[in-house]
Amino acid sequence: MSGFTEADTDGSNGNKEDTGQAMKRDGNAEDSHLNGEELQREKNVRQKIFSFVFRFAVSVAFLLWIFKSVDLGIFADVVVSPNILPIMAMIGFSLFYVFLGGLKLWVLFRSFSPIRLRLFTGYFFLAGSVGSLAPAIFGDFTLIGLAKQSQIPVHKSISAILVDRFITLVIALFIFTPFTLIFVLPVKSTYVLAVTAISVALFGGLLCISVRFAPFLFGKFSATKRFWESFSIFFEGDRTNLYTNIFISSFRGIVSGITLILALMAANITPPFIPTICIANSLSILTHIPVSLSGLGVFEGSGLILFETLGLNREQVLAGLLYHRMYIIIWAFLTSLVLTLIFAIKKHSGHHDVHE
């Protein structure tokens, strides 16, 4: 009897010890997992800080170079006496330009959800204003988050944004930029067109290969598979929404050029119409390169170089580009403030109605 009791007691003590060790191991594993998440968050924060500091430094460096390369006395005389009528027209065309951006993206989102144009335009205006004040990716995150409130999954929003961004860049790169080079480079236009044709052929071949092998690459994981299914919906079956986006994107490029023409006219110069349309769209490519804060400094410096090759006065060009930039900043700040308040009030009202 006593032997049974002793053995039973030993077994019980052994189980308790094993359970304690298991709990300790589980606790260590959980602590290790939490520590890993904290380290990853700290790493992401450091990367964001470094990215901001780097972009800020690049913007400051370009702005210092820009203002050093102009006669500040002449520039000051020009910038303080703008032509008001072109500025008013610039504001109107800028608003139309932003609306077209929302419209062409809404056309793609419509493939996933019957979201109302009015609501989506509000989302796009807010996201665009955030992207103008901060790196553009923050604007994309804002739009994705707002679309999620309308029951549009993240992978579908990302696929629509990427398709829209891809179309915009292709139009600017392969349609407007070749003509920009023809206007500003001292070479025969046939050379530029030949290089463009070769580039289009290579790009098209690479694109076809990528599309062919993409299902095998993206199909390995459920998340990437869902993304590819949403992404490829624009290129398979009915392509009406895709073609509509391409048409609106092309027309929006012309509106973008007119906006810049009006900004330069506010500085009392009349730039050539077609070259300025092309230059405006070529410069837009620079805003997608994450080297400065929303293209600040890079856009203005490149514009200064390109327009000077057309024989325009540097100080007047810089004044026009400054009008364009200041409007974007002021509009983005006011739009962010107003739309954030509107969405907050609507959300609060919705919660209040639910509780009642």
Note the pLDDT of residue 255: 96
What is d(CA 351, CA 356) in angstroms, rounded to the nearest whole number? 9
What is d(CA 176, CA 232) in angstroms, rounded to the nearest whole number? 27
What is d(CA 68, CA 62) in angstroms, rounded to the nearest whole number? 10
Note the pLDDT of residue 6: 45
Q: Is the Cβ–Cβ distance between 252 and 101 less than 8 Å?
A: yes
Outline where 189-239 has alpha helix (H). 189-218, 222-232
What is d(CA 331, CA 338) in angstroms, rounded to the nearest whole number? 10
What is d(CA 289, CA 15) in angstroms, rounded to the nearest whole number? 61
Task: Give the model confidence (pLDDT) of 48-85 as tens digits.
Answer: 788 778 888 988 999 999 999 999 999 999 999 899 99
Q: Is the Cβ–Cβ distance between 350 and 293 less than 8 Å?
A: no
Q: How large is the greatest C-alpha to C-alpha distance in the chain, in angstroms?
A: 110
Mean pLDDT of 124-129: 84
Q: Is the pLDDT of residue 101 over 80?
A: yes
- Phi, psi angle pair for 185, to nearest 5°: -95, 140
What is d(CA 110, CA 310) in angstroms, rounded to the nearest whole number? 42
What does the block give as tokens for 216?
Answer: 């095998």
What is d(CA 324, CA 2) in angstroms, rounded to the nearest whole number? 95
Count CB neighbours of 142 within 10 A. Answer: 20
Q: Assign 350 a pLDDT band (cuts: 50, 70, 90).
A: low
Note the pLDDT of residue 166: 92
Q: Is the pLDDT of residue 304 over 60?
A: yes
Q: Is the pLDDT of residue 5 over 60?
A: no
What is residue 221's DSSP assignment?
S
Q: Assign 4 a pLDDT band (cuts: 50, 70, 90).
A: very low
